[in-house]
Structure 1
């Protein structure tokens, strides 16, 4: 029995050592469907290749689709800029051409005792407004027959009063009753006056 075992082992070893791999015959495919090869039964169809297969050559990848910029994106950008510009122009036009300043009240005052010898009376007119921007046109009229030229005072937005001054200088001795009147011409005609007495005993 030992001889048979040794012989079998020797023959088996000789078979693996001296024998080479069995030749494999080329198997032709059952059929060719485009670029998909099918071998034998039970082989499922492969998905079609997403690129062209060139026999013996290189793979040709599809060219990337060109990036197309939306025309509406550019139009939206220019539209936004146009809206902002129109808003700014509208605001400036409203400030310039909108409702002008309106006068609420006019008062005129001076020091109660009046000026003394060789001094000047500081006559103050306060014009109350509604806070809108605009221009006041006015003049002073004195009781000695003197009229000033037309004067203007610019009021800004949010400014609710304008303070207008008249300096009236007196000289000489004696007593002189005086009257100073503010005549507002624009935006509306209004008048206000104050009376005082100049006294100088010498």
Structure 2
């Protein structure tokens, strides 16, 4: 009768070899190649697609695409501001040209009460008070010797509330002459003012 126990003192190991059975073809040795490649999409089998990952983050792409829109918006705002400034300048110039004109408050004429000396010139001054708006005064001088000037103009700038108009009247010879100088304001309002003085020369 044989002893089924393993002998003592000997190096002994029992190995059971099993068999593994597989149904179907053996597993491929390498990676599976795709059926075809179209651009950045790899197609595996009919009707199945797999998108390649984007080469950069989508958030960055959206930011890059939105940047030109922001620049265009800034340009439009800049042009709008320039248009507003231009419109304001044109409105101001139009108001100066077509807005309310100069208004005359009073007119006074004066000269040296002693009158001019022999063969001298009298300086007759008319002072026209205004409201300070810009405008043009149209006037003429009329002298008592029967002469009068042509229509004259005086440009009054904005902020100036007084215009001084001069008449230089020269006398010659001996004797006495009662003189009168009159200012006739024609526009923007019709006003008159005058002054009397005496020319004396006895020699």
Equivalent residues in 2 for 1:88-107, closer than 5 Å: 88-107=89-108
State the Cα distance separating 1:172 from its structure 2 match: 1.0
CA shift for structure 1 position 97: 1.1
* SS of corresponding position for 2:65: coil
TM-score for the superposition, normalised by structure 2: 0.67
Aligned twin of 1:162: 163
Q: How many residues align?
A: 145
Alignment of 1:165-180 (within 5 A): 165-180=166-181
- Tell me which residue corresponds to 1:81: 82
Equivalent position of 1:181 in the other structure: 182
Unaligned runs of 5+ in 2: 1-52
**Corresponding residue for 1:62?**
56
Alpha-carbon RMSD across the aligned residues, in angstroms, is 1.8
Distance 1:150 1:60 in 2: 86
User: Quick one: structure 1 residues 120 and 60, their matched pair in 2 at CA, closer, same or farther if it must change by over 3 Å?
Assistant: closer
Cα separation, 2, equivalents of 1:147 and 1:166: 11
Q: Which runs of 5+ in 1 are unaligned?
A: 1-58
Q: Distance in 2 between matches of 1:60 and 1:80?
A: 41
Counterparts of 1:60 and 1:177, CA distance in 2: 107
- What SS is found at the alignment partner of 2:186? strand
Residues 60 and 197 of structure 1, relative CA distance in 2, 3 Å threshold: closer
Per the TM alignment, residue 123 of structure 1 is displaced from its structure 2 partner at its CA by: 0.4
Q: Deviations over 1:127-168 (max 9, x none)?
A: 011000000000000000000000000000001111111111
State the secondary structure of the residue aligned to 1:67: helix
The offset of 1:60, in angstroms, is 6.0
Matched, 1:146 2:147: yes
- The aligned residue for residue 202 of structure 2 is 201
Output the CA distance in 1 between the equivalents of 2:146 and 2:189.
Answer: 24
